[in-house]
Structure 1
């Protein structure tokens, strides 16, 4: 499994209703896309309601394999995103743990954290720690938890999705918060 994300940070005065409307009108178009497990249409507003929030559009994908990523990046849908916002750098992460994928559509918010993997860190030990952390978050009420790493930039990605922001308050300190506008799922 591979996670993929790109992020557009938008001006502070950007009308985020445009992003919400875009998600509402186009979100369903990726339902059933080949090799896509899910796409979470993430957005945030710099109004201070969620920690770390700025005006941003940052969809997060879970792919079965690289073929799905290649098909999507060559698709008219991604071309439309690039035409509207510019071509973004795309982060691709190798997945260590993903719990509760089928429940992701029930989540309203998600929190993400990225951190550098220090030189000399045992990847095997870090993988076990992240799998344990994912299990704990899932047991504490997260509906979906994802842990992945990027060996090109040596970074770790943690994502947990929750039914409400209140549910997550103590579990996800120091994370960026996003609203989930829609979740496209595999068929």
Structure 2
């Protein structure tokens, strides 16, 4: 599995109904996309769930690199290029996947980002990371990027009370393709 995400930051006065309608009208087009495990159509809205900006931030989990390559290089990503211009695509390698098919029934993604500090050994990192991340009773995936030495934890939930006291970004899910 591999993850990818681009975060399109939108002006603070941007009408987020444009994005909501875009997803409502087109989100189904990635249902059943080759190699796609899940695509979460995510947004943040300034002033909602303590978010400080508007964004459109689709999050993909691919079964392998072939689906991602098809999406990026066979014309599908061109819809993003045409609408929003050139975007950096953040890539993550899954380290821990504590999800089931139940993620298809969630309403929010809570993202926590952390740095992987230089160490003499990363031998026990996978076991130790679980001690560093917030203890939230829900399904989650941890990814990492060794180019940036960062990790991302994506919690999938319906109840925002679980993350009320945690630091991170709360995304609203508009649609989930699988």
Residue 156 (structure 2) pairs with residue 157 (structure 1): no
TM-score of the superposition, structure 1-length normalised? 0.87
Contact 2:45 2:51 (8 Å CA) reproduced? no
TM-score of the superposition, structure 2-length normalised? 0.91
RMSD: 1.9
Match of 2:7 in 1: 7
Match of 1:91 in 2: 90
Residue 167 (structure 2) pairs with residue 184 (structure 1): no
Contact 2:7 2:58 (8 Å CA) reproduced? yes
Q: Give the 5 Å matches for 1:74-153.
A: 74-120=73-119, 122-131=121-130, 137=136, 140=137, 142=138, 144-153=139-148
Contact 2:106 2:156 (8 Å CA) reproduced? yes
Q: In 2 relative to 1, CA 145–90 (structure 1 residues): closer, same or farther, beyond 3 Å?
A: same
- Distance of 2:17 and 2:120 partners within structure 1: 43
1:35 positional shift: 1.1
Q: Which 4+ runs in 1 deviate beyond 6 A?
A: 132-135
* Structure 1 or 2: more helix by fraction: 1
Residue 66 (structure 2) pairs with residue 67 (structure 1): yes
Contact 2:8 2:57 (8 Å CA) reproduced? yes
Match of 2:50 in 1: 51
Of the three residues 174, 182, 186, the one matched with 2:167 is 174
- Distance of 1:97 and 1:164 partners within structure 2: 22
* Structure 2 spans left out of the alignment, 5+ residues: none
- Distance of 1:54 and 1:73 partners within structure 2: 26
